[in-house]
Chains A and B, each alone.
Chain A
Amino acid sequence: MTKYNKNVSSRRTFLKNSGCAALGCTTLFSSLISMKAMASAALDKGDTPSDYKALVCILLSGGADSHNMLIPKGIPEYNEYLTTRSNLAIPRSQIRSINHNPLDGKIFGVHPDMPNVQTLFNNQKLSWISNVGTLIEPITKSAYESNSGQLPLGLFSHSDQIKHWQTGRPGDRSTHGWGGRIADLIHDQNSNTGLSMNVSLSGNNFFQNGENTVEYSIRPNGEFGIKTYGTETNYHSLRDGAIDDILNRQYADIFEKTYINTFKKSMEGSVEMNEALEGIADFNTSFSNTQLSDQMKMVAKVIAARESLGFSRQTFFVNFGGWDHHDEILESQQEKLPVLDSALGEFMSALEELGVADNVTTFTISDFGRTLTSNGDGSDHAWGGNAMVMGGSVNGGQIYGDTPSLALGSDLMLPRGVLIPTTSASEYFAELATWYGVSQGDIYEIFPDLINFSSPASPYPVGFMDPNT
């Protein structure tokens, strides 16, 4: 009988006997011991949750021009926007209205190609975070110009910024994301301690990368493992046995070991995933025929299988890329925003079918916002931008953070229409982590710059999550 046999009892036996083959963990030998130590530490810090919570991170890689997603609609603020954005400005009549209390007297709307976002916002399932960006400490224009403040490393560079948005640490070049750090702390709270609680539909990523955690990458089509593995013929049993032998033997060479570890983890996970997803019914919600919707649908399916898989805490990562619109931005966003918009609507609808809308919080991140000014037909790398957060536990229908003037030369405006952020990404993430159940002490360790922004007394520094959830 082969190790990765789909037979249930052999799987359980295997996992019980697997000892050091801890899935999602990076060292063969010490992980079990260190996991046990961490588990007892984590348990000291909080209760083992009996409820389910999931964080779904959607990365819009490339630096999405979010100033054309959440757009001033009231006349004076629109005119400022129009002057600054010149040929990139969306015509006022096309901006979709959203119901919200004026902020500093300003009214906003959303891009014409975001009808689902409009509805979700008006139904209080989605909120915006305005002018959020990577910050080590609050920065003023004069501090920036005199180079006297601590600035995020590699400001305006894709590779650095995209990492900071996943690590929450713009002051260093750490490659451990905050989702990975949280998983390091709490994954033992799940009854499934084998499979990684961090599931990615987009391969390796920093967000889910922890010291003892890596993401479990899956494909949206629901195929796991080697396709013909487990076929019941003599030939396949023979072959499967050989595959097992190759995967299970010890390797001294670090490249060989690294190659095999990932492969092995994948095979082990595939058995569980196949079994767990077998029983999941199709959604009534129909998903669009786009890669992003496929990915979100798979996220929803895995969430549907959470009990059979044995998870009370999970994170998901999806990268919807291609937003680096130095050129043809209006046309490009017209193509991409409907994809994003539909996927968000469909996902929320599927979660409602499952009855877990309150348990899942989806949030967007991106390398940076883009320059408010045009370079001809596109915009360039900038800093502060707008993000969305969606879920039943979100205080929906609001715009959080500050809404500074978009006029060139204004207080927070650097040359080329680069906005200095007024909410730091760490505050944004800290609030999500609080909702997720991470203790305040741990949060301040995960986000060391947080202390520069919010006092220890406010676990909800931005205010978008309902503290009663």
Chain B
Amino acid sequence: MLLKKITSTILSLICVSAGYAQVQIYEDYIGAGHSEDILISTSSSYSNPEWTDNSMPKKTLNGEGLDGRKAEAARFLFQAGMGGTEADINQLAKTLDFEGWIDWQMALPKTDMLWLTRQSHQLSSQRLQALNNNSSEFDYNRVHFQYAWWHAAMTRQDILRQRIAYALSEIFVISAYSNIRNDGEGPGSYYDMLMSNAFGNYRELIEDVTYHPAMGVYLSHFRNQKSDSLTNVFPDENYARELLQLFSIGLYELYQNGNIRKDSDNNPIAAYNPEDIRNLSRVFTGFGAGGLTQEGQDAGEDLSFQIHANYLDYTVPMAVYNDYHDEEEKILFGNQIIPASQDGIDDVDMALDYIFQHPNVGPFIARRLIQQLITSNPSPSYIYDVAQVFNDNGDGIRGDLAAVIKSILLHEEARDCLWYENPANGKLKSPVGRYLQFARIFADRESQDYFWTSGFTFEYNTYQRPLASPSVFNFYLPDHQPNGDIRENGLYGPEFEIHNSATSTGYANEVDDWVRKKKVFTIDILDYEVPLQSEGLASMAQDPEVLVNYLDYLLCHGRLSAETRQIVIETLNQVELVPDFLEKRTELAMFLIMISPDYTIQK
């Protein structure tokens, strides 16, 4: 019993005899009976005088338990990337060198999302053409970027960069549910921009967001004109408002630890007022197309402010046309002046500089990124520590996102076992996170060229799909408080905003499909499917405890509770011994664990 609990998976046994070492590798577990007269020691300091060699620490069970390291690695990989493959987990388990892993990730070449989007369109069209001679069926904009997103998530190594880009996409939101058109170029190019900035500087990030045509169309500062009092036309305030409220500063003044500043009447202090928004909206005037699509060129159009979204090249940053730009003086935050008669790009530059320097930005971004990756209720000191890194990365630079990410992932609140004891620690994994973690581990990758899904059914069941939120407020807000204990304790749980009676069972139905139909991704119209790899699992299912232990570290990061463990094992033991009973056991174990909070809650 004890032996089984120590480890359950691949194991090397070293047989030492007569002065030489002979290595035999078995792939089940200790106690399976391959060799006799082997004394298994759980201490690396054990030595026997009859041996000519001593057992080497790293090749004996040293009491830490291989599972413990794997669980730790799995947990980190979920925080840093929404999960790794089994090989990734095992690899990282050897060293648990998280900083080294981060450095390695940050140095990897960046996946090109626009290219992948275009390739996905091409390949899937070809496939559809081959099937039924008609490739015109797709609404390109809404589907191919999704294919590319999942394909990158499943095949590309830069999972940290992807994770951060995804987190940024839930803050600097654009969505398929909008007027953004033109062949997936919009989201593909926008996501590339987020990927590029993931380890860059926040100041550059907000500049790239500001000039990106997809954001211009989404928050309507594309073709935003200066005031014309004669025709009662005034600048659009949309981008100005959301830039302040959702992307940089937030509604209220903050302390560096993220707490809201209050005035003498205990009311929050507004960080900006309607006057600021009006002034800022005048900064974002004159934005127009920076590039023309081929279609536009073929139609004989010239690049100008007059170009509408239909000929807008989404991959080229917008230009600011001074003729349509408001050149009067603007004042932000009471005393930050943008002088009159400047070029539009200089106005934008100054405005972004003023916003960037606002003391709120550090804690604002820190809290949101921590909520994305680690926990919904970071302590004030966690936020403070990360905000300090934002304010100065140690080399006098403000806004260094790479340093911020490192500080979030390596902070003691994310790494030390204190998290286990703090009842306020934790978060609900987002539906996308629950799906991706599972897919990375269990998708059968042999002979798969692509990993596509449109995500529509998943969205219907869980209310989430990458870059397809219902509004600029994302799928859930940082300040959401679900009813019950979380709200009563003054805590937050953003992901619970889309966890309701429809999606709770909807998610379970998704899991049911994955484990019973044994498909991870399918697209009927393309006759395409990625199967679930489950052979290894079925053999483990001979001993339910082995299977459950395995799923524990992979899925629950070692947190599977005794109660859920008992329920699952007992259930597995009651499965009738029909011919496919091992498969049934596997299905059951995966289903029950994945619908349980042991899986869905991240600690």
A, B assembled together: yes
Assuming the A-B contacts A217-B503, A270-B505, are A321 and B471 also in contact, with contact meaning beta carbons closer than 8 angstroms in the complex? yes
A246 touches B225 (CB 8 A): no
Name the distance in Å between B457's Cβ and chain A's nearest Cβ: 12
B501 touches A373 (CB 8 A): no
**Please, how many angstroms separate the alpha-carbon atoms of A259 and B434 in the complex?**
14
- Whether, in the assembled complex, A260 has its beta carbon less than 8 Å from a beta carbon of chain B, the answer is yes
In the complex, which residue of chain B has the Cβ closest to the Cβ of A322? B177
Name the distance in Å between A455's Cβ and chain B's nearest Cβ: 30
- Whether, in the assembled complex, A371 has its beta carbon less than 8 Å from a beta carbon of chain B, the answer is yes
A326 touches B236 (CB 8 A): yes
- Whether, in the assembled complex, B96 has its beta carbon less than 8 Å from a beta carbon of chain A, the answer is no
- Whether, in the assembled complex, B264 has its beta carbon less than 8 Å from a beta carbon of chain A, the answer is no
The interface size bin for chain A is: 35 or more
Name the distance in Å between B357's Cβ and chain A's nearest Cβ: 23
- Whether, in the assembled complex, B359 has its beta carbon less than 8 Å from a beta carbon of chain A, the answer is no
- Whether, in the assembled complex, B119 has its beta carbon less than 8 Å from a beta carbon of chain A, the answer is no
- Whether, in the assembled complex, A402 has its beta carbon less than 8 Å from a beta carbon of chain B, the answer is no
Residues of A within 8 A of B423 (CB): 253-254
Residues of B within 8 A of A253 (CB): 423, 426, 597, 601
Residues of A within 8 A of B231 (CB): 86-87, 374
B502 touches A266 (CB 8 A): yes
B508 touches A27 (CB 8 A): no
Residues of A within 8 A of B568 (CB): 242
Residues facing A in B410-435 (CB within 8 A) are 423-424, 426-428
Assuming the A-B contacts A239-B588, A326-B238, are A257 and B484 also in contact, with contact meaning beta carbons closer than 8 angstroms in the complex? yes
**Please, how many angstroms separate the alpha-carbon atoms of A121 and B484 in the complex?**
43
A376 touches B225 (CB 8 A): yes
**Please, how many angstroms separate the alpha-carbon atoms of A346 and B573 in the complex?**
53
- Whether, in the assembled complex, B43 has its beta carbon less than 8 Å from a beta carbon of chain A, the answer is no
A246 touches B483 (CB 8 A): no
In the complex, which residue of chain A has the Cβ closest to the Cβ of B602? A255
In the complex, which residue of chain B has the Cβ closest to the Cβ of A319? B470
Name the distance in Å between B51's Cβ and chain A's nearest Cβ: 47
A246 touches B500 (CB 8 A): no
Residues facing A in B231-247 (CB within 8 A) are 231-238, 241, 245
B500 touches A26 (CB 8 A): no
- Whether, in the assembled complex, A114 has its beta carbon less than 8 Å from a beta carbon of chain B, the answer is no
A266 touches B501 (CB 8 A): yes
Residues of A within 8 A of B501 (CB): 215-218, 262, 265-266, 269
Assuming the A-B contacts A246-B564, A262-B501, A269-B501, are A241 and B571 also in contact, with contact meaning beta carbons closer than 8 angstroms in the complex? yes
Name the distance in Å between B502's Cβ and chain A's nearest Cβ: 4
B597 touches A200 (CB 8 A): no
Residues of A within 8 A of B426 (CB): 253-255
- Whether, in the assembled complex, B84 has its beta carbon less than 8 Å from a beta carbon of chain A, the answer is no
- Whether, in the assembled complex, A191 has its beta carbon less than 8 Å from a beta carbon of chain B, the answer is no
- Whether, in the assembled complex, A214 has its beta carbon less than 8 Å from a beta carbon of chain B, the answer is yes
- Whether, in the assembled complex, A417 has its beta carbon less than 8 Å from a beta carbon of chain B, the answer is yes
Name the distance in Å between A454's Cβ and chain B's nearest Cβ: 28
Assuming the A-B contacts A27-B484, A246-B592, A259-B601, are A215 and B237 also in contact, with contact meaning beta carbons closer than 8 angstroms in the complex? no
Name the distance in Å between A235's Cβ and chain B's nearest Cβ: 6
In the complex, which residue of chain A has the Cβ closest to the Cβ of B245? A157
- Whether, in the assembled complex, A267 has its beta carbon less than 8 Å from a beta carbon of chain B, the answer is yes
Assuming the A-B contacts A227-B509, A321-B471, are A254 and B485 also in contact, with contact meaning beta carbons closer than 8 angstroms in the complex? yes
Residues of A within 8 A of B486 (CB): 254-255, 258
Residues facing A in B103-134 (CB within 8 A) are none
Residues facing B in A59-80 (CB within 8 A) are 61-62
A262 touches B491 (CB 8 A): no
- Whether, in the assembled complex, A307 has its beta carbon less than 8 Å from a beta carbon of chain B, the answer is no
Chain A 218-244, CB-CB to B under 8 Å as 1, else 0, gives 110001111110000011001101110
**Please, how many angstroms separate the alpha-carbon atoms of A27 and B484 in the complex?**
6
Name the distance in Å between A314's Cβ and chain B's nearest Cβ: 15
Give the interface centre of B233, B473, B489 by most chain A CB atoms within 10 Å: B233
**Please, how many angstroms separate the alpha-carbon atoms of A209 and B497 in the complex?**
12
B234 touches A373 (CB 8 A): yes
In the complex, which residue of chain B has the Cβ closest to the Cβ of A195? B501
Residues of B within 8 A of A234 (CB): 576
Assuming the A-B contacts A86-B231, A375-B233, are A61 and B224 also in contact, with contact meaning beta carbons closer than 8 angstroms in the complex? no
**Please, how many angstroms separate the alpha-carbon atoms of A223 and B457 in the complex?**
14
**Please, how many angstroms separate the alpha-carbon atoms of A256 and B220 in the complex?**
40
Assuming the A-B contacts A255-B427, A373-B232, A417-B232, are A262 and B237 also in contact, with contact meaning beta carbons closer than 8 angstroms in the complex? no
Residues of B within 8 A of A326 (CB): 219-220, 236-238
**Please, how many angstroms separate the alpha-carbon atoms of A463 and B274 in the complex?**
35
Residues of B within 8 A of A156 (CB): 241, 274, 277
**Please, how many angstroms separate the alpha-carbon atoms of A381 and B177 in the complex?**
20
- Whether, in the assembled complex, A261 has its beta carbon less than 8 Å from a beta carbon of chain B, the answer is yes
Residues of A within 8 A of B574 (CB): 238
Name the distance in Å between B157's Cβ and chain A's nearest Cβ: 31
In the complex, which residue of chain B has the Cβ closest to the Cβ of A204? B500
A203 touches B601 (CB 8 A): no
In the complex, which residue of chain B has the Cβ closest to the Cβ of A225? B505
B588 touches A209 (CB 8 A): no
B233 touches A374 (CB 8 A): yes
- Whether, in the assembled complex, A315 has its beta carbon less than 8 Å from a beta carbon of chain B, the answer is no
Contact of B497 among A204, A214, A378 (CB under 8 A): A204
A380 touches B471 (CB 8 A): no
Name the distance in Å between A161's Cβ and chain B's nearest Cβ: 12
A376 touches B505 (CB 8 A): no
Assuming the A-B contacts A324-B471, A376-B233, are A258 and B225 also in contact, with contact meaning beta carbons closer than 8 angstroms in the complex? no
**Please, how many angstroms separate the alpha-carbon atoms of A287 and B235 in the complex?**
40
**Please, how many angstroms separate the alpha-carbon atoms of A176 and B564 in the complex?**
34
Name the distance in Å between B386's Cβ and chain A's nearest Cβ: 22
In the complex, which residue of chain B has the Cβ closest to the Cβ of A213? B483
- Whether, in the assembled complex, A175 has its beta carbon less than 8 Å from a beta carbon of chain B, the answer is yes
In the complex, which residue of chain A has the Cβ closest to the Cβ of B242? A158
- Whether, in the assembled complex, B70 has its beta carbon less than 8 Å from a beta carbon of chain A, the answer is no
**Please, how many angstroms separate the alpha-carbon atoms of A431 and B79 in the complex?**
50
Assuming the A-B contacts A203-B502, A204-B497, A239-B571, are A259 and B471 also in contact, with contact meaning beta carbons closer than 8 angstroms in the complex? no
Chain A interface residues (CB < 8 Å from chain B): 26-27, 61-62, 83-87, 154-159, 175, 200, 203-204, 209, 214-219, 223-228, 234-235, 238-239, 241-243, 245-246, 249, 251, 253-263, 265-267, 269-270, 321-322, 324, 326-328, 371, 373-378, 380-381, 408, 416-417
Given contacts A203-B500, A242-B592, A249-B563, 10 further A-B contacts (CB under 8 A): A217-B503, A224-B505, A239-B571, A253-B426, A259-B496, A263-B508, A327-B222, A327-B223, A376-B236, A416-B234
Q: Which 10 A-B pairs have the closest CB atoms?
A: A266-B501, A256-B597, A217-B500, A326-B220, A254-B485, A263-B504, A217-B502, A327-B220, A242-B571, A373-B232
Chain A to chain B contacts (Cβ below 8 Å), 13 pairs: A26-B483, A84-B232, A215-B501, A226-B509, A239-B571, A246-B596, A251-B597, A254-B423, A266-B505, A326-B219, A327-B220, A374-B233, A380-B234
